Amino acid sequence: MIAMNRVKTTGLLVGLTLLFILVGKLLGGHQGVVVAFILASVMNLGAYWFSDKIVLSMYGAREVTPEQAPELYQIVHELSLRAGIPMPKVYMIDTETPNAFATGRSPQHAAVAVTHGIMRLLNREELSGVIGHELAHVYHRDTLISTVAATIAGAISMLANMAQWAMIFGGFGNNEEEEGEGGMGLAGNLVMIIVAPIAAMVIQMAISRSREYLADEGGARLCGHPLYLANALKKIAVGVDRIPMAANPGTAHLFIMNPLSGGGLFKLFSTHPPIEDRIARLEAMALRQGLV
């Protein structure tokens, strides 16, 4: 299952890259592709490099010591050793919404943050499942993967914006000569300008969902029992619905449970898989291991 999720992530990243090349060729030309990719890379590199400080500050996270949160600190320490990664910094967020996230540009610069709400809601076994999930994100370097995906998707959006402005000012794909040379024409360019960024976002969100499945599996192995995490997810889902969190959509992918909710088309752009699917996979994992 883990190998399958890795293959899926790789395939999605390849698909996103191919989409970028196609859109660049059709809309931006060689110069447009280079400019868009450089701008997107600089923006996302900055976000990647300072991601831990930005998101921790955004939610008012406070670093805690072993004396202030002994049980939490011990769980993080034990599972970090088991995962073979450096001990991340431990933070607490003052909100009753049950949730948690990991951030940082590498295992050597990682941080794990949990809310007061999740600490009150979960028992030790369930909390170990949540921490295992977050440390799996750190181990798999998911911050780097999401940054690569965001860079390519951002470059596609920039190309579409460049093409839109070029059309407004009159010289983009709007003559018979360009169509005869293989261009798409005005109608084709309009479709690409609208469809390409949406397609890029859909692929980017699919990559995020794939990494969540991978972190669930890795976290279940780290904590020692898939049902620890499955039971935690059940409780967190109820808690998130009961006490909503004023979260920034740009950071929703970091949390173990999407703090934003919605149905219908929203699911296509969700950063997390359906909670029912995640729980079912963990329960099936426990069954295969003979733990139930």
Q: What radius of gyration do the chain's Cα atoms show?
A: 21
Q: What pLDDT, on the 0 to 100 scale, is given for residue 181?
A: 41
- Residues 71-82 have pLDDT tens digits of 999 999 999 999
User: Is 70 exceeded by the pLDDT of residue 103?
Assistant: yes
Work out whether strand 89-93 and strand 62-63 pair parallel, antiparallel, or are unpaired. Answer: antiparallel
Rounded Cα distance between 98 and 43, Å, is 31
Binned at pLDDT 50, 70 and 90, residue 247 comes out as: confident
Q: What is the pLDDT of residue 263?
A: 52
pLDDT at 156: 77
Q: What tokens were used for 191? A: 């479709």
Cα distance between residue 89 and residue 246, in whole Å: 24
Q: In the annotation, is 134 catalytic?
A: yes
**For 154-170, what is the HEC assignment?**
HHHHHHHHHHHHHHHCC
pLDDT digits over 186-207, tens only?
A: 666 676 778 878 888 888 788 8
Dist. CA 193–CA 267, nearest whole Å: 23
What is this structure's pTM?
0.79
pLDDT given for residue 92 in this prediction? 97
Higher pLDDT pick, 221 / 46: 221
pLDDT at residue number 8 = 64
* Annotated active-site residue in 63, 71, 134, 178: 134
Smallest CA-to-CA distance from 219 within 210, 204, 230 is with: 230
Going by DSSP bridges, is the β-strand pair 100-103/89-93 parallel, antiparallel, or unpaired? unpaired
Q: Scanning the structure block, which residue is given the tokens 């809309």?
A: 27
Tokens of 12: 């999605």
